[in-house]
């Protein structure tokens, strides 16, 4: 993770030294539907315990230098805790909140139409999951693809699809003996609006 953060800082510093026409800042707001899987499973039967599916709100700051972009994103959601089994899911929304930060590098991989761009993003993400009075931290890997298009003037729209993988959000002491911890993975899609400064 330190290597990814170092690369992110180097891109920002290079952008600060670049000519104004070569580097650009963007600020954006994103809404993402997130779906969680994994985390913990009952070895004696079907039930699974995991964070609940949730809507997250994110604020991002981008620094673009030609086709390369460095992004810092901060997001908040209230996934709670879900127990899933035999076609039924019960979610307690009061059981957990999530603050997530991510440092991403992205590059253009294609386009649609004269001005739309398809970008690939990857980087580390830090999850701070608040359960009761305790805050759990987990580091994960994030990959995403996004389609961006100009809306008006300096405003751009975006649609993103992302996936994140991290170790189980539960500690061994949280679970009964029949439960086994698994990696936590998340996939989701979202929409955003970005403004070029």
As a whole number, mean pLDDT of residues 29-40 equals 88
Mapped onto helix, strand or coil, the DSSP state of residue 53 is: coil
User: Which has the closest alpha carbon to 186: 26, 52, 8?
Assistant: 52
Count: domains in the chain:
1
With 70 as the cut, is the pLDDT of residue 37 above it? yes
Residue 152 sits in a domain of what CATH number?
2.40.160.20
Predicted confidence at residue 140, as pLDDT, reads: 93
CA angle centred on 97, ends 165 and 182, rounded to 5°: 30
Token pair for 157: 């729209």
pLDDT, one tens digit per residue, over 13-26 is: 454 444 444 468 99
79 within 8 A of 98, measured Cβ to Cβ: yes
Average pLDDT, the chain: 82
Domain span at residue 52? 2-196
Residue 61: the pLDDT is 97
Q: What is the pTM of this model?
A: 0.77
- The percent of residues in the chain predicted with pLDDT above 70, rounded, is 87
Q: What is the pLDDT of residues 72-90, one digit of tens each?
A: 999 999 887 777 777 777 7
pLDDT band at residue 96 under the 50/70/90 scheme: confident
């Amino acid at each position: 993770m330190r290597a990814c953060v170092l690369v992110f800082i180097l891109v920002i510093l290079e952008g600060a030294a670049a000519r104004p026409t070569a580097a650009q800042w963007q600020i954006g707001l994103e809404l993402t539907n997130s779906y969680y899987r994994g985390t913990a499973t009952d070895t004696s039967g079907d039930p699974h315990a995991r964070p609940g599916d949730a809507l997250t709100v994110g604020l991002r700051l981008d620094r673009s230098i030609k086709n390369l972009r460095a992004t810092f994103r901060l997001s908040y959601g209230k996934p709670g805790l879900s127990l899933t089994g035999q076609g039924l899911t019960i979610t307690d929304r009061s059981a957990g909140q999530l603050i997530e930060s991510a440092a991403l590098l992205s590059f253009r991989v294609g386009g649609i139409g004269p001005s739309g761009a398809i970008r690939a993003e990857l980087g580390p993400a830090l999850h701070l999951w608040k359960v009761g009075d305790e805050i759990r931290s987990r580091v994960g890997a994030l990959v995403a693809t996004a389609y961006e298009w100009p809306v008006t003037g300096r405003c751009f729209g975006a649609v993103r699809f992302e996936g994140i993988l991290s170790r189980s959000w539960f500690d061994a002491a949280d679970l009964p003996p029949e439960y086994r911890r698994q990696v936590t993975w998340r996939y989701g899609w979202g929409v955003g609006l970005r403004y070029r400064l």
